[in-house]
């Protein structure tokens, strides 16, 4: 290292600890001193170059294609399991450890960076449903037996699923005066209970439904409130779902309304505001793991209370 450093007068690096670029002067004499680095010098080297090494390792992980987001891994596994079900290869149950091993080996097209990410992805699969042409397969994690159970349910089309968009009655109200632009997002804290997201026009309603089911798992089985709002130049449409558990989220009428909202936002070329009340304070990092790119800002008023 001393030989390499002697070729440069200074080094510029991005410090992950400080969140900015820093420079450190080097001299040939300093290079010679590095050869004798002991005690305090070694601690100084470790402090200065830790950010460089961390950045290098993060780049290696990215280039190798390893995934660090559990929700992203869970969605890839979900698509793989759906393909197995369509081909008649899905068993009635599988050991959790075996499924985690398959995930770690990249059997579903993605490779989690470690077993923790694979385990979190498995947890997010709980209560998810595989929608097939003639049936539905519900995924349940049985904690008592450490098994992943695949329950086949006959698919019966609900009346709401057979209604054309023109026959759905929607109550709207004229658009009122535009609210003043919101201020800067609140300072991020360790936990949160309320989240505000912005869904793109024509959003993928199936993906959003799976996301809400996964988030309800993180919240302990139910979301206190899920609210969608579409504001156009002609009307404002609001759809609220209280005590949203996986069963309620996967009902045919709820899915039909989500699909309608997606199509209306697409035709109006407007985004949809999704507000969530998680029911209790949850670690922000776990919420961000599920929401991924949808995560924008959150609002929590608890810190203002006495």
Q: What is the DSSP letter of 105?
A: T
Please list the alpha-helical segments (H only) found in the chain. 2-5, 28-34, 40-63, 70-86, 96-104, 115-124, 205-218, 246-249, 252-268, 284-291
Q: What is the separation of C-alpha 62 from the centre of its chain, rounded to a whole number of angstroms?
A: 18
Closest alpha carbon to 110 in 85, 74, 59, 139: 74
User: Torsions phi, psi of 234, nearest 5?
Assistant: -105, -40
* 18-32 per-position pLDDT tens digit: 667 777 665 544 555
Percent of the chain exceeding pLDDT 90 equals: 32
* 157-185 per-position pLDDT tens digit: 554 444 444 444 444 455 445 454 454 55
Q: The tokens 């996986």 sit on which residue?
A: 246
CB 112 within 8 A of CB 66: yes
Which fold is adopted by the domain 186-304?
Answer: 3.30.1340
- Local confidence band at 202 (pLDDT 50, 70, 90 cut-offs): very high
Query: What is the H or E stretch that residue 280 is in?
Result: strand 272-283
* 86-111 per-position pLDDT tens digit: 988 899 999 999 999 999 988 998 88
What does the radius of gyration of the chain's CA atoms come to, in whole angstroms?
25
User: Start-end ranges of CATH 3.30.1340 in the chain?
Assistant: 186-304
Closest alpha carbon to 73 in 244, 214, 197: 214
Could you tell me the CA-to-CA distances from 65 to 78, 112, 114, 220, 291 in Å, in that order?
A: 19, 9, 12, 31, 20
């Amino acid at each position: 290292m001393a030989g390499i450093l002697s070729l440069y007068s200074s080094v510029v690096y991005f410090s992950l600890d400080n969140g900015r670029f820093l420079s450190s002067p080097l001299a040939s004499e300093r290079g010679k001193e590095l050869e004798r680095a002991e005690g305090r010098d070694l601690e100084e080297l470790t402090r200065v170059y830790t950010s460089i090494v961390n950045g290098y390792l993060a780049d290696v992980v990215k280039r190798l294609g390893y995934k660090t987001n559990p929700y992203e891994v869970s969605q890839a596994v979900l698509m793989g399991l759906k393909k197995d079900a369509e081909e008649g290869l899905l068993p009635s149950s599988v050991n959790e450890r075996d499924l985690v091993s398959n995930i770690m080996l990249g059997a579903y097209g993605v490779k989690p960076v470690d077993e923790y990410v694979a385990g979190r992805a498995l947890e997010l699969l709980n209560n998810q449903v595989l929608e097939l042409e003639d049936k539905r397969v519900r995924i349940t994690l049985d904690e008592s037996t450490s098994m992943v159970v695949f329950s086949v349910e006959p698919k019966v089309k609900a009346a709401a699923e057979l209604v054309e968009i023109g026959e759905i009655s929607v109550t709207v109200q004229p658009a009122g005066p535009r609210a003043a632009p919101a201020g800067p997002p609140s300072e991020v804290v360790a936990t949160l209970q309320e989240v505000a997201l912005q869904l793109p026009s024509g959003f993928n309603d199936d993906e959003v439904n799976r996301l809400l089911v996964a988030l309800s798992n993180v919240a302990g089985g139910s979301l206190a409130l899920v609210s969608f709002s579409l504001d156009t130049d002609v009307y404002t449409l609001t759809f609220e779902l209280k005590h949203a558990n996986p069963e309620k989220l996967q009902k045919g009428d709820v899915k039909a309304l989500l699909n309608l909202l997606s199509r209306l936002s697409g035709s109006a070329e407007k985004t949809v505001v999704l507000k969530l009340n998680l029911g209790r304070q949850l670690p922000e990092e776990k919420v961000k793991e599920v929401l991924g790119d949808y995560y924008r800002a959150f609002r929590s008023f608890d810190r203002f209370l006495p």
